[in-house]
C-alpha cells in the first residue's frame, strides 16, 4: 500500500498563523482565549472565546471575502500557508492528481445568522443570492479547488468535532488507493457568533470562567467546567511518499493509521468508560500495524468538560493498559480552545511538529489535578522528548470518533 506523508502545514489558529508561529506559541504555553469582542455577549453565560484576530487579506482578497463565509476564508488562508510550507506553487496544485477534502462541523454559521436577520426584518425577497453557496459546508473544499484548479477527488466531511481528523484519514485513504498524489485536507470552523455561543451555553457545555479567560480551558483538572469555543482552520498537504521524495519535499511526519467508530449511545454524552473511543484507538493501531507499547504520545481530544476528560482517560487506560502510565498525554485545546470541525486537523499539525522536533506540547492551566485522572498530561510546560509514534484523538457529538496514528519520518 502506498505510504502517505505530511509535507505542508497550514494552521490558522487563535495562537498563531502559519507553522512556525503556531509551533512557538504551543511551546510557550500561550493561551488564545479572550473576552469576545465581535458582538455584545453580555447576555450570554459564556462571554469568552478563542478568536482569530489576524488580518486575512494577505491570503483572501477583500472583494472575494464578501462572497464567501468566514469559515471558507480561514480555509483559504490555511491552504495558502500549507502550500507555501510544502514548497508547492499554484501550478503544482492544479490538475486531476490533486484532490481536496476539507470539512467543517457547522459550515457558514455567520452567513446563516446574518441572513436570518435580513429575512425577519426585510423579507425573503431581500435574501442575497450568495446565501446558499456561502453557507453550505462543502464550500471550503469547493473554493480551494477553484482557487488552484485542483480537479482530483473532492469531498467534504461533516462529523462535528471529529471532522478534521476524519478529513485527514479519508484523504490518506484516497492516496493509498492511488486516486491522488496530493490531497489538500483538514477542517475549518468560524462559529464565534451569537447563536452558536448561545446554543452551546444553553447546553451548559461552555466554561463560564469569564473573569479569567486565559485559564478557562483547563483539561483534566478538578475545576474544569466546560470547553472554550474557538475558531480557525487546519489545512494539511498530504502526499504520496515517492511523489514527495521525487520533488525533494521536506517531510514533517508520516500518517500511518486511521480508524473511526460510533458510540451509538447519546446525542452529546460520550459512551460510558469511553467504549467507542477505545474501539477507535484499537482499530487505528491495527490499521497502522503498531503495538500499543510503541506509542509515545497522545494528543488528546481533551475538551475541558467533566465527562469527556474522564471517559477519554478511561479509554486510554483500556487500550494501553500498564503502558498508559508511560504515555505522554496533552491537550492543545488548553491553548487554542475547541475549534470544533477544525480541531482534529489543527491537532494533527501539532503532532507532526512534535514528532519532527522532539518537543511535546503542554496542557496549560494544569494546576489542580483531578484525582480520578491520573495520567501524565504534560503539565504546563512543553517537554523535550523524542517519540516514534503518536496518536491524535477526535470525538464528536453524535458519538462519532476518529483516531489518527503518526510516525516520525526519518
Nearest CA-CA partner of 166 in 408, 410, 403, 407: 403
46 has catalytic annotation: no
Q: How many CB atoms lie within 10 A of CB 91?
A: 9
In 3D, which of 82, 67, 80, 70 has the Cα closest to residue 106? Answer: 70
Distant-in-sequence, close-in-space partners of 45: CB < 8 Å, separation ≥ 6: 201, 206, 208
Distance CA 25, CA 16 (A): 7
Classify residue 218 as exposed, middle or buried by CB count within 10 Å of its CB (0-12, 13-18, 19+).
buried
For residue 1, the model assigns a pLDDT of 86
SS3 state at 105: coil
DSSP for 196-220 reads HHHHHHHTT-B---TT-GGGS--TT
Residue 263 lies in a domain: yes
The tens place of each residue's pLDDT in the chain, 410 residues long, gives: 899 999 999 999 999 999 999 999 999 999 999 999 999 999 999 999 999 999 999 999 999 999 999 999 999 999 999 999 999 999 999 999 999 999 999 999 999 999 999 999 999 999 999 999 999 999 999 999 999 999 999 999 999 999 999 999 999 999 999 999 999 999 999 999 999 999 999 999 999 999 999 999 999 999 999 999 999 999 999 999 999 999 999 999 999 999 999 999 999 999 999 999 999 999 999 999 999 999 999 999 999 999 999 999 999 999 999 999 999 999 999 999 999 999 999 999 999 999 999 999 999 999 999 999 999 999 999 999 999 999 999 999 999 999 999 999 98
Q: What is the CATH number of the domain that holds 161?
A: 3.40.47.10
Which of 161, 277, 348, 373 is labelled catalytic?
Answer: 161
CA distance 400 to 362: 26
Quote the CA–CA distance of 393 and 239 in Å, as a whole number. Answer: 22
CA contacts within 13 A on the Cβ side of 158: 10
Query: What pLDDT shows up at residue 410?
Result: 86
Q: Which of 375, 360, 236 is nearest to 299 (CA)?
A: 360
Do the domain assignments include residue 269?
yes
CA 343 to chain centroid? 2
Domain ranges, residue 298: 1-398
Residue 405: inside a domain, yes or no?
A: no
Query: By three-state DSSP, how is residue 70 classified?
Result: helix
Residue 404 lies in a domain: no
Is-contact 99 183, C-beta < 8 A?
A: yes
Helix (H) or strand (E) holding 13: strand 4-13
Residue whose C-alpha cell reads 494546576 in the numeric block: 367
| Residue ranges of E strands in 216-340 | 232-240, 253-262, 295-299, 328-330
Grid cell locating 310: 474522564
Structural domain total, the chain: 1
Alpha helices in 157-301 (DSSP H): 163-176, 194-202, 241-246, 275-288
Amino acid at each position: 500500500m502506498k505510504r502517505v506523508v505530511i509535507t505542508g502545514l497550514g494552521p490558522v489558529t487563535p495562537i498563531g498563523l502559519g507553522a512556525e508561529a503556531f509551533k512557538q506559541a504551543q511551546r510557550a504555553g500561550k493561551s488564545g482565549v479572550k473576552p469576545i469582542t465581535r458582538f455584545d455577549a453580555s447576555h450570554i453565560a459564556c462571554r469568552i472565546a478563542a478568536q482569530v484576530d489576524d488580518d486575512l487579506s494577505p491570503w483572501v482578497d477583500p472583494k472575494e471575502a464578501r462572497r464567501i463565509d468566514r469559515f471558507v476564508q480561514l480555509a483559504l488562508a490555511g491552504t495558502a500557508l500549507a502550500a507555501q510550507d510544502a514548497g508547492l506553487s499554484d501550478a503544482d496544485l492544479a490538475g486531476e492528481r490533486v484532490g481536496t477534502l476539507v470539512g467543517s462541523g457547522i459550515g457558514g454559521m455567520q452567513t446563516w445568522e446574518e441572513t436570518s436577520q435580513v429575512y425577519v426584518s426585510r423579507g425573503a425577497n431581500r435574501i442575497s443570492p450568495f446565501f446558499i453557496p456561502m453557507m453550505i459546508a462543502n464550500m471550503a473544499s469547493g473554493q480551494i479547488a477553484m482557487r488552484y484548479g485542483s480537479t482530483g477527488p473532492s469531498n467534504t466531511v461533516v462529523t462535528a468535532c471529529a471532522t478534521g481528523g476524519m478529513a485527514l484519514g479519508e484523504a490518506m485513504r484516497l492516496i493509498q488507493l492511488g486516486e491522488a498524489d496530493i490531497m489538500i485536507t483538514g477542517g475549518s470552523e468560524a462559529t464565534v457568533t451569537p447563536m452558536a455561543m448561545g446554543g452551546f451555553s444553553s447546553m451548559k457545555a461552555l466554561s463560564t470562567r469569564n473573569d479569567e479567560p486565559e485559564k478557562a480551558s483547563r483539561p483534566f483538572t478538578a475545576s474544569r467546567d466546560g470547553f472554550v469555543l474557538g475558531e480557525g482552520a487546519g489545512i494539511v498537504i498530504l502526499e504520496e511518499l515517492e511523489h514527495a521524495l521525487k520533488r525533494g519535499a521536506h517531510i514533517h511526519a508520516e500518517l500511518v493509521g486511521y480508524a473511526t467508530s460510533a458510540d451509538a449511545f447519546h446525542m452529546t454524552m460520550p459512551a460510558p468508560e469511553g467504549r467507542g473511543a477505545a474501539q477507535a484507538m484499537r482499530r487505528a493501531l491495527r490499521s497502522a500495524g503498531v503495538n500499543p507499547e510503541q506509542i509515545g504520545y497522545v494528543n488528546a481530544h481533551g475538551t475541558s468538560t467533566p465527562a469527556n476528560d474522564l471517559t477519554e482517560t478511561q479509554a486510554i487506560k483500556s487500550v494501553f493498559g500498564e503502558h498508559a502510565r508511560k504515555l505522554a498525554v496533552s491537550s492543545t485545546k488548553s491553548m487554542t480552545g475547541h475549534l470544533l470541525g477544525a480541531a482534529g486537523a489543527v491537532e494533527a499539525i501539532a503532532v507532526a511538529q512534535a514528532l519532527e522536533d522532539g518537543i511535546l506540547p503542554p496542557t496549560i492551566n494544569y494546576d489542580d489535578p483531578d484525582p480520578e485522572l491520573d495520567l501524565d498530561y504534560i503539565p504546563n510546560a512543553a517537554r523535550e522528548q523524542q517519540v516514534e509514534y503518536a496518536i491524535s484523538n477526535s470525538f464528536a457529538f453524535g458519538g462519532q470518533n476518529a483516531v489518527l496514528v503518526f510516525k516520525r519520518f526519518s
